[in-house]
Amino acid sequence: MGKPPLAVTRPTSHGTGRAIRRFRVAVTGGPASGASWQEPAERCAVGSHPSNDLVVDDPTVSRFHCELAIVGGAVRVRDLGSRNRTVAGRIAISDATVDGGTRLALGNSEIEIQVTPDVAQVAASERSAFGGLIGQSAAMREVFSQLEKIAASDATVLIEGETGTGKEGAADAIHDASARRDRPFVVLDCSALPASLLESELFGHEAGAFTGAIDRRAGAFEQASGGTLFLDEIGELPLDLQPKLLRALESREIRRLGGHQIVRCDVRIIAATNRDLRAEVNRASFRADLYYRLAVVRLALPPLRDRTGDIPLLAAHLLARTSVTAATLAALTAPDYLAALAAAHWPGNVRELRNHLEQCAVFGERRLPHAPAAPHPASVVDAALPYEVARKQAIDAFERAYVTRLLERVGDNVAAAAREAGVNRAYLHRLLRRHGVR
**47 contacts 80 by C-beta, under 8 angstroms:** yes
Residues 33-67 have pLDDT tens digits of: 999 999 999 999 999 999 999 999 999 999 999 99
Amino acid letter at 120? A
Q: Residue 154's Cα: distance from chain center in Å?
A: 20
Q: Which range among 105-119, 183-197, 200-214 shows the weakest confidence by mean pLDDT?
A: 200-214
Confidence of residue 218 (pLDDT cuts 50, 70, 90): confident
Phi, psi of 270 (to 5 degrees): -125, 125
Evaluate if residue 4 carries a pLDDT over 60: no
Q: Which residues of 32-65 are buried (b: 16+ CB within 10 A; e: fewer)?
A: beebebebbbbbbbbbbbebbbbbbebebbbbbb
Give every CB contact of residue 267 below 8 A, 6+ residues apart in sequence. 221, 224, 225, 226, 227, 228, 229, 252
CA distance 180 to 196: 31
User: Band of the pLDDT at 13, cuts 50, 70, 90?
Assistant: very low
How distant, in Å, are the alpha carbons of 3, 44, 56, 120, 283 from that of 6? 8, 12, 18, 17, 25
pLDDT band at 8 (very low <50, low <70, confident <90, very high): very low
For residues 105-117, average pLDDT: 97
**C-alpha distances out from residue 318 to 313, 338, 428, Å:** 9, 13, 27
How far is C-alpha 279 from the geometric centre of its chain's CA atoms? 12
378 close to 414: Cβ distance less than 8 angstroms: no
Q: Is the pLDDT of residue 23 over 90?
A: yes
Contact 289, 246 (CB under 8 A): yes
pLDDT of 146 over the 60 cut? yes
DSSP-derived 3-state class of residue 383:
coil
Contact 72, 91 (CB under 8 A): no
Q: What are phi and psi of 229, to 5 degrees?
A: -110, 120
What average pLDDT does range 327-355 have in this prediction?
Answer: 92
**Region 104-125 average pLDDT:** 95
212 Cβ contact list (under 8 Å, min separation 6): none
Q: What is the pLDDT of residue 206?
A: 78
Assess contact for 357 and 332: CB atoms under 8 A.
yes
Cβ distance 185 to 140 under 8 Å?
A: no
Contact (CB, 8 A) for 132 and 272? no
Alpha helix positions (H), 373-424: 387-409, 414-421
